[in-house]
């Protein structure tokens, strides 16, 4: 066992002395040492229930003959970090999480790892570490939140808070109703109710084969999640004994399955960054073109908040990810998963209980998957859009640019009523290096929706979007402005053409004018020049490569 390096032989007398100090018994030295990497914190709703799940994971490990050790992993709540300095730290925290897990696991020579995670950057960060370390690992996501309630009306976090505040500014809802919404939208533990980044990444984890079947959608507050946690604790000991490694599971074919499930669900555009980053750690090349090719071949069979009115609880009760496997079986690769079952076996055992929540290919919401990858002179290295959340009217749009060099400047004009129909809001210098940190633009996109402009205004940015974003919002423009990308040379009044069906985004000026502007471009330096973010800005790569740090 890997842990023998800290517990076997006469030269390990000091090490054993320290292990005994923790209360370890001598007979436990012959058992696998299992790290439970828990991201419990009482400031993230998706993580506040983890103390309970930790107990059940511990029970599972002990019953299977392993020895559990717990270690904390940092986490950030994107919703709380949104719209201020905090969001600069969200994406960069993914690298800290991966590095922290690597450091703890290697320093203490653990035999296996259970990653207890849930929210936006924590899940991909842990999965990156799993691929990098290639130590037996299983992912346990803590589960989605129940929908909020206002009388008989179901509430969801983004629609009933971010979008509601813009409606309140227009006078469409009262201060009293807004107060009710903010108190009732998030009723308790769990990741926010829609197919935002946290829940999308949980689904990706299960689709990739790194979580037990049913884990992604099992609700945070229900006993099913406890049982999955305990089963995961048992399973990690089996994985150690059989030496089943993450890279045995995270193959190229498994990544294709995960992308197909993501496209069928209509998940967050952030998954493009995260799946590419996880694949990078696993030594697998996944160009942007792969995402677009698979999106064209897989129909969008689910329509979950923010694209539609269904919530994660509806997907759970309709059969969860195994039921999505069943719908996609003829397209998916038959590969092994950590559960010991293949994807086809999981699909065959699944039961679909609601044909509207998980539709057939013939009755799909859209013929193509949820995400489209665009190219053009404005994004030579690519850009992404959640096309499942764009109305058919706005799949093709041409408008005049309104340029902003920060999210804050754009928000002032959006909330100040200065954005007109037929315009394209351009927010730049918010990319991985330029931000630094590639902030999510949920506040501007939600304000545009709340003001009733989602079918008259587009948004283009080298930053990224929350999974809660809807409308014609094009993110991950690459190269970013800070790297001298064409987005940096857009001037107010320039025409921008967006054609999602044709996968095109164009700045409607001549090639000679583009060259002239690029030649005289003066790049704005990063907004933050001290601390971790300054180091991150120097090392982070383009969004088109997953914004990984090298």
Reported as type and span, the H/E element at residue 52 is helix 50-63
| Distance of alpha carbon 425 from alpha carbon 485, whole angstroms | 17
From the number of C-beta atoms within 10 Å of its C-beta (0-12, 13-18, 19+), residue 93 rates as: buried
Q: What does the DSSP 8-state code read for residue 434?
A: T
Where do runs of H (alpha helix) occur along 483-526?
511-519
Question: Alpha-carbon torsion 150, 156, 157, 160, what sign?
Answer: negative
Round to whole Å and give the CA distance between 294 and 264. 10
Which residues are CB-neighbours of 365 under 8 A, at least 6 positions away?
Answer: 266, 299, 300, 301, 302, 303, 307, 308, 359, 388
Q: Which two tokens stand for residue 539?
A: 């090392």
Put the strands of the sheet holding 137-141 in their side by side order: 67-72, 33-38, 112-117, 137-141
Instruction: Give the list of residues 6+ apart from residue 220 with CB closer than 8 angstroms, or none.
Output: 46, 49, 118, 142, 143, 144, 145, 146, 188, 189, 190, 191
CA distances 331 to 46, 248, 433, Å, are 32, 21, 37
**Rounded CA separation 394/388 (Å):** 11
Q: How many residues does the chain have?
A: 550
* Radius of gyration in angstroms for the set of CA atoms belonging to the chain, rounded to a whole number: 23
CB neighbours of 507 closer than 8 A, spacing ≥ 6?
Answer: 376, 377, 378, 486, 490, 494, 495, 496, 514
**Which residues are catalytically annotated?**
466
Q: Give me 507's structure tokens.
A: 């700045």
């Amino acid at each position: 066992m890997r842990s023998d390096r800290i517990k076997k032989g006469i030269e390990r007398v000091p090490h054993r002395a320290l292990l005994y100090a923790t209360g370890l018994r001598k007979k436990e030295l012959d058992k696998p040492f299992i790290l439970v990497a828990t991201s419990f914190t009482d400031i993230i709703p998706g993580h506040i229930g983890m103390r309970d799940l930790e107990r059940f994971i511990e029970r599972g490990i002990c019953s299977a003959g392993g020895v559990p050790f717990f270690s904390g992993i940092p986490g950030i709540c994107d919703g709380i970090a949104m719209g201020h300095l905090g969001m600069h730290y969200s994406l960069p925290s993914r690298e800290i999480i991966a590095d922290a897990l690597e450091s703890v696991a290697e320093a203490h020579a653990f035999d296996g790892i259970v990653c207890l995670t849930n929210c936006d950057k924590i899940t991909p960060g842990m999965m990156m570490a799993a691929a990098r370390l290639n130590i037996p690992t299983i992912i346990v996501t803590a589960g989605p939140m129940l929908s909020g309630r206002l009388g008989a009306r179901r509430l969801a976090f983004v629609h009933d808070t971010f979008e509601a505040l813009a409606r309140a500014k227009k006078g469409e809802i009262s201060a009293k109703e807004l107060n009710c919404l903010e108190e009732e939208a998030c009723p308790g533990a769990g990741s926010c109710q829609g197919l935002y980044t946290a829940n999308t990444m949980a689904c990706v984890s299960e689709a990739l084969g790194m979580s037990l079947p049913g884990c992604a959608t099992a609700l945070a507050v229900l006993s099913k999640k406890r049982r999955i946690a305990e089963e995961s604790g048992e399973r990690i000991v089996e994985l150690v004994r059989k030496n089943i490694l993450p890279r045995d599971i995270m193959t190229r074919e498994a990544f294709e399955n995960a992308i197909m499930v993501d496209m069928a669900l209509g998940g967050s555009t952030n998954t493009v960054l995260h799946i590419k980053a996880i694949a990078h750690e696993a030594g697998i090349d996944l160009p942007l073109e792969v995402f677009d090719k698979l999106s064209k071949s897989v129909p969008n069979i689910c329509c979950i908040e923010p694209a539609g009115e269904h919530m994660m609880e509806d997907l759970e009760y309709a059969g969860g990810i195994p039921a999505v496997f069943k719908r996609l079986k003829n397209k998916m690769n038959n590969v092994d998963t950590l559960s010991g079952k293949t994807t086809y076996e999981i699909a065959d055992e699944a039961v679909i209980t609601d044909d509207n929540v998980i539709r057939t290919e013939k009755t799909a919401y859209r013929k193509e998957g949820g995400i489209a990858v665009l190219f053009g002179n404005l994004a030579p290295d690519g850009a992404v859009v959640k096309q499942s959340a764009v109305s058919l009217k706005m799949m093709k749009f041409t408008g005049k640019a309104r340029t902003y060099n920060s999210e804050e400047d754009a928000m002032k004009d959006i909330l100040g009523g200065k954005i007109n129909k037929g315009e394209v809001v351009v927010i730049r210098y918010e990319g991985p290096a330029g931000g630094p940190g590639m902030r999510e633009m949920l506040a501007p996109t939600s304000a545009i929706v709340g003001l009733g402009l989602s079918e008259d205004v587009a948004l283009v940015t080298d930053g990224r979007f929350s999974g809660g974003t809807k409308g014609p919002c094009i993110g991950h423009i690459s190269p970013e402005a800070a790297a001298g990308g064409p987005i940096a040379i857009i001037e107010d009044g320039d025409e921008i053409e967006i054609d999602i069906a044709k996968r095109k985004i164009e700045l409607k000026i001549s090639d000679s004018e583009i060259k002239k502007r690029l030649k005289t471009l003066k790049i704005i330096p990063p907004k933050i020049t001290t601390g971790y973010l300054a180091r991150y800005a120097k090392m982070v790569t383009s969004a088109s490569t997953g914004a990984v740090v090298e």
